[in-house]
A and B are shown apart, each in its own frame.
Chain A
Amino acid sequence: MTVLAETAPRVAETGAHRSGGDRLANSLRLPVAAGLLWLGVAGVILAVPDAQELERTSLLGVLAIVVGAAQLGVAALSWVTAHAARLARFAPWLIVLALFVGVWEALTAKLDVLPLPFFPSPQAFVEVYTDDWRRLGDSLLHSLLLLARGFAVGAAVGFLVGVALGWSRRVGYWIHPVMRLVGPLPATAWLPLAFFIFPTSASASTFLIALATAFPLTVLTWSGVASVQTAYYDVARTLGANERFLILKVAIPAALPHVFVGLFMGLGSSFAVLVVAEMLGVKSGLGWYLQWAQGWAAYANMYGALLVMALMCSALITLLFRVRDRLLAWQKGLLQW
């Protein structure tokens, strides 16, 4: 991968010395190579007979053809619009993926060298989505709903407690010791108790996820509010601000960068608790799906669910980054996700 990626800019550099047409031809080299490689992989998938008993070989072949044709289409369109040319930056990745899928297909479906069921073929992987999408989709939906409930409750509680701790000494007196004792305890330690105390496993899991979210958010909101410069308060006070204004319009906006760090940490730990809760208590969701797939030794399903889960977590983190970029547009040098 690194070798291929490094050649890409070098091609562009040398192209700069030549005429415009040559430069374009050079920048198209990688998408064309990626397209042809994928068509080649498709040829292997479709032409070489399977050594394993498999159902979705032709579908996988068609998918490979589609990817390859799309790359060639991008290359062709690059002559016309600069828009398509930007898609060409995925070409190095697609080349590596083509090689990966090709080798994977050869070692599993075609030559049957890797042991089943731990190493399913690419078509078995595709089959998970074509044949079990209903159950997978349902699990995804349940996971999302549970996560949203728990995270929302935890974020709201964590934020409010954090602001109260940062603002009021009296609140701090009572909450601080409790938080110091209970906060660092991993939320999963409550698991047996929670499933026993709460009437349903869903409410127990919501509680656990909320707990996991709330602690880091509380600590960071608190430190954010506590570290606001007193000069900011002085400015507002000389201009006639009351306490409500000082909290809502000075303390909270000033603490917001800290709050977002807390939200990222809270979201991360809520993922962990979600999966554990689903594996151990709730009879739905992606965590449960993983457990179920393992019970049937359906490793292809497990990999398929892991991919869905990775996409879900990544999408949620991305969403949080977007929200942060909107609200903290005034900060310079924000990390780009």
Chain B
Amino acid sequence: MVALARRVALDADFGAAVDLRAIDHGFDLHGAYLPVLEDVSFGIPAGQFVALLGPSGCGKSTLLRLVAGLERPRHGDLLVDGEEVRGPDPSRVLMFQDPTLYPWRTVWRNAALGLEARGLLKEQRHRVDQALALVGLNKFAQAFPHQLSGGMAQRASLARALVNDPRLLILDEPLGKLDSLTRLAMQGELTRLWQARGFTVLMVTHDVEEALLLSNRVIVVSDRPARVRADLAVDLPYPRHRDHPELLRLRREALGLLGLGQDW
């Protein structure tokens, strides 16, 4: 993985810049309109790591699907590098909340999916091995998904996203199913990788501490329909320590915004 990181080198403009302008979105549910996103506006400069926090069911995954281009917003403009997002693109990879590995493919061939879809697999096989090594699954390369634990499946899905060398990595609770130790290790790997490759990250998490440890900015959204409630800058050097007073202060603030202020 180190080799891979060096090969790409730190290219200041590698990451994609994202711009959301007054996004409205919703669904038709049982004949009625269910507003999910309301006037959501924020920008992410190239190379920034942004964490998205919000209550369950508020519309975080929906927002990520819009950014990935899997759905078009009902209103508002969604720009990546100044261009309207019209559909999915391999430079913006979404790692889903569920691993959704293909049960008929081995872990290796699941991770190779993006390269295969773009016809790059022949030249870049080593990238698959590297990504699997990074998430600690090289011993399970030939296993089928039903032979994996929930956390392993999630790591396999992270490897499948990383293989593609995305300019924008969109992560939906990527480490949610991991035990605390693996989680710490993967948080470290993610930070290192982000620093080495310079891609932009938009990550949903339900763990306030994780958001503060990893990101440059934490965006807190309200309950459905989601609106941006706060945009907290986290100006601390990496690697960060969870006991840092500034981090503790931000933590209290974020929890307060999520409605848990008093008891914490």
The size of the chain A interface, using a CB distance under 8 A, is: 22
Closest residue of chain A to B91 (Cβ to Cβ) is A240
Known contacts A235-B96, A330-B146; decide if A240 and B70 are in contact (CB<8 Å): no
A245 touches B (CB below 8 Å): yes
Q: Contacting chain B: which of A17-25, A217-225, A226-234, A310-318?
A: A226-234
Instruction: Give B99-124 as 1s and 0s: 1 = Cβ < 8 Å from A's Cβ atoms.
Output: 01011110000000110111000000
Q: Bound complex: CA of A256 vs CA of B103, how far in Å?
A: 12
**Taking the nearest CB of chain A, how far is it from the CB of B96, in angstroms?**
7
**Taking the nearest CB of chain B, how far is it from the CB of A241, in angstroms?**
4
**Taking the nearest CB of chain A, how far is it from the CB of B263, in angstroms?**
37
Known contacts A231-B96, A237-B70, A239-B90; decide if A330 and B113 are in contact (CB<8 Å): no
Output the residue of A231, A250, A256, A330 with the most chain B CB within 10 A: A330
Q: Is the CB of B114 within 8 A of A240?
A: yes
Scan residues 236-258 of chain A and give those whose CB is less than 8 A from a CB of chain B.
236-242, 245, 249-250, 253-254, 256
Secondary structure class of chain B's binding surface, majority of residues:
loop
Q: Is the CB of A241 within 8 A of B146?
A: no
Q: Is the CB of A254 within 8 A of B70?
A: no
Q: Is the CB of A231 within 8 A of B98?
A: yes
Q: Which residues of B contact A254 (CB under 8 A)?
A: 102, 104
**Taking the nearest CB of chain A, how far is it from the CB of B102, in angstroms?**
7
Q: Is the CB of B102 within 8 A of A232?
A: yes
**Taking the nearest CB of chain A, how far is it from the CB of B106, in angstroms?**
8
Q: Is the CB of A240 within 8 A of B117?
A: yes
Q: Is the CB of A239 within 8 A of B102?
A: no
Q: Bound complex: CA of A84 vs CA of B129, how far in Å?
A: 46
Q: Which residues of A contact B117 (CB under 8 A)?
A: 236, 239-242, 245, 249
B88 touches A (CB below 8 Å): yes
Q: Is the CB of A330 within 8 A of B103?
A: yes
Instruction: Give B123-159 as 1s and 0s: 1 = Cβ < 8 Å from A's Cβ atoms.
Output: 0000000000000000000001010000000000000
A134 touches B (CB below 8 Å): no
Known contacts A237-B70, A245-B117; 11 additional CB pairs below 8 A are A232-B100, A234-B70, A235-B100, A235-B113, A237-B87, A240-B88, A240-B114, A240-B118, A240-B164, A242-B117, A254-B104
Residues of A within 8 A of B (CB): 229, 231-232, 234-242, 245, 249-250, 253-254, 256, 328, 330-332
5 nearest CB pairs, A to B: A240-B90, A239-B114, A241-B117, A237-B88, A238-B94
